[in-house]
Amino acid sequence: MELDPRPPRADRERRRFLKALGVGALSLPFSRLLLSSVSDAQAVSSPLRLVVVFNPLGTAFEYWRPQASGSSFTLDFTNSILAPLQKYQNQLIVLDGIDCVPEIKYGDFGHEASPSVLTGDVNKQMAGVRPTVESLDQFLADQPAIGGQTRFRSLELSVGGCKYPERVMSWRAGGVPVPRMLNPYETFQRVFAGYVVPTADAGTVGPDQATIDRAFRQKSVLDYVLADVGRLKRKLGPTELQKLDQHLQSVRDLENGLTAGVLDGGTGSAAPTAGCAPPTAIPDQATWKGLYDEDPNNRIYFDSPTYGSFMFDHVQEWSDLQIQMIAQALACDLTRIVTLQYFEDGVDGGAPWAQPAVPPSDPWYDPHVCTHADTGAPGRSEAMATYQRWFSAQVAKLMDALAAIPEGSGTVLDHTLIFWTNENGEVHDLANIPMVLAGGANALFKMGRWLQYPASGQTPHNELLVSIANAFPGVNINSYGNTATYNWGTGGLPNL
């Protein structure tokens, strides 16, 4: 079975297209773009965006959990992990008591939660078992009305970590991990190189003839590639055919980006928000080449001796760059679905950029050791809190970046849902995983709450995935995860 190719774009684009090319220049491959009757109205309202943020290891609940304050709560107290988010308290839901039930019941052990986060499925690396269903971000990316509307169906970004390419959040169906964009320079090149912000006169001033010619030439190459992939589809089993179908879809997406580029400089949106602009801080190629310098096998080791020091020197800059690019990609409607993974599961080694000013004595230098340790050990919670507060600050920076971009009567943040999750719970387990929803999310969630669920270890995060999915227009599902094999229950998260 083939995945659906992306639908044609809105009429308005097509009119621009005709103006740009002139009817005489229109050749057959483009004619399908004229077939849609989607109305202009769709482009006017601001679409909902999703950004999923993941960071590794455990927490210290005494400092993660908000403190009650009258009828409300506060994040502002000594050692508070969520303190950087205090100013956004009314745009948060602190989810206290959500469990990664698939992993708890059927998984390997405390590591490798990332493949389960968005698939709601079981991952057992030691036994060679991978998630079978696609992750929520990929599910939304595949929807014609969501991922199908933008230049990139989804973007997967990363700060640090690529020792284990299979320890990722995003999965295609059938156990295929979706690789992450690690290198900010390459992120910029892929998303923004050659990108021209559409202007009000884009409908009348089309691209020049050389640009159109170039697009035609490249399109003929991609058409050839599509035909060539198709010719491999002979006597093959379903897994192999699925693999080739995925390849076909990826090339079609490239081609759609190309044809849209002829129209409006690369954006998939007929009317990108007023704040759309390429990032001003352009990652430096030479600096980020350092990522690969020490890697003998094309694999980036967080914990190789030299890579570690590169990491320590650049981690904040790395995070800042990726966040800025996410914000602008959303503002320009280049994508609506983003995942941002910090490091990867079970990361080893210290985090000098996020440890107390006076580091407690060994072994608290290492958040991994902290995670494993007895929660009552002196200094453990404070070291853990310092580590986690760094991620909290990154989420705040993401919100700052989105809130700084005007859109409609508000900002891009008003139209974005951020889902931030830890890898582990308090210790190295998968019960009660710290999770936060943030952003205006098109007013689809009542924000400003601290929701506490029973510490039963049995509140499946699958229910949260259902709730997030159903926030998107046109999506109406009742369960998420490998429900053919396991029973996670149905419906969204209660009280959300």
Partner 1 sequence: MRGTRYGWAACLLLGACTGRISGSTPSGQPGALLSTRVRLLNNVEYDNTVAALLGDASGPARTFPASDPQSGFSNNATQTVTDLNASAYDGAAQALAQTAVQNLSALLPCSPPPGQEAACAGQFIATFGPRAFRRPLTADDIAGLQGVYDVARSHGGDFTTGIEMVLYAMLSSASFLYVPELGLEGASGSEVELGPYEKASALSYFLLGAPPDDTLIAAAANKGLDTPDQLEAQSRRLLGDPRAHAQALRFFTEWFEIGPSTKDATVYPDYRTLSPSFLKETPALIDDVVFNGDGRLQSLLEASYTFVDGTLNAFYGLAGSLSGSGLTRVSLAGTPRIGILTHGSWLSLHGDATMSSPIKRGVFVRRRLLCEFLPPPPPGLNVTPPQKSEVKTTRQLFDAHVSNPSCSGCHSLIDPVGNGFEAFDGEGGYRNTENGQPIDASGELTQTLDANGSFNGAAELVHRLAQSREVGECFARMLFRFGSAQTSVSTEQELLYEAPTPLPDSYQGLAVMYVRSKLFRRRVLP
Residues numbered 217-246 forming contacts with partner 1, rule: CB under 8 A: 217-218, 220-222, 224-225, 227-229, 231-232, 234-240, 243-244, 246
Contact flag: residue 28 with partner 1 (CB under 8 A): no
Q: Give the length of the chain.
A: 496
Which of 109, 485, 491, 494 forms a contact with partner 1 (CB under 8 A)?
Answer: 109
**Residue 367 in 3-state DSSP?**
helix
Tokens read off for 191: 């998303």
Which of 296, 357, 443, 476 forms a contact with partner 1 (CB under 8 A)?
Answer: 296
- Report how many residues bind partner 1 under the rule CB under 8 A: 93
* 485, 490, 495, 496: CA torsion to nearest 10: 70
Alpha-carbon span 433 to 75, nearest angstrom? 18
Residue 155 sits at φ, ψ, to 5 deg, of -125, 135
Contact flag: residue 294 with partner 1 (CB under 8 A): yes
Which of 186, 313, 317, 320 forms a contact with partner 1 (CB under 8 A)?
Answer: 186
**Is 212 exposed, middle or buried (CB count within 10 Å of its CB: 0-12, 13-18, 19+)?**
middle
Closer residue to partner 1 in complex, CB, 255/264: 255
Contact flag: residue 98 with partner 1 (CB under 8 A): no
Q: Are 492 and 467 in contact (CB under 8 A)?
A: yes
Amino acid at 379: G
**What is the distance in angstroms between the CA of the first residue and the CA of the last residue of the chain?**
36
Q: How far is the CB of 339 from partner 1 (least distance, A)?
A: 12
Closer residue to partner 1 in complex, CB, 227/443: 227
Closer residue to partner 1 in complex, CB, 415/461: 461
Alpha-carbon span 72 to 296, nearest angstrom? 53
User: What is the pattern of x (binds partner 1, CB under 8 A) and - over residues 315-354?
Assistant: ---------------------------------xxx----
Closest CA to 132 of 490, 481, 496: 481
Find out whether the peptide bond into 352 is cis, omega within 30 degrees of 0. Answer: no
Contact flag: residue 127 with partner 1 (CB under 8 A): yes
Which of 22, 144, 179, 378 forms a contact with partner 1 (CB under 8 A)?
Answer: 179
User: What is the pattern of x (binds partner 1, CB under 8 A) and - over residues 250-269?
Assistant: xx-xx---------------
Q: How far is the CB of 242 from partner 1 (least distance, A)?
A: 8
List binders of partner 1 among 423-442 (CB under 8 A). 428-429
Query: Kind of pairing, strands 449-452 and 49-55?
Result: unpaired
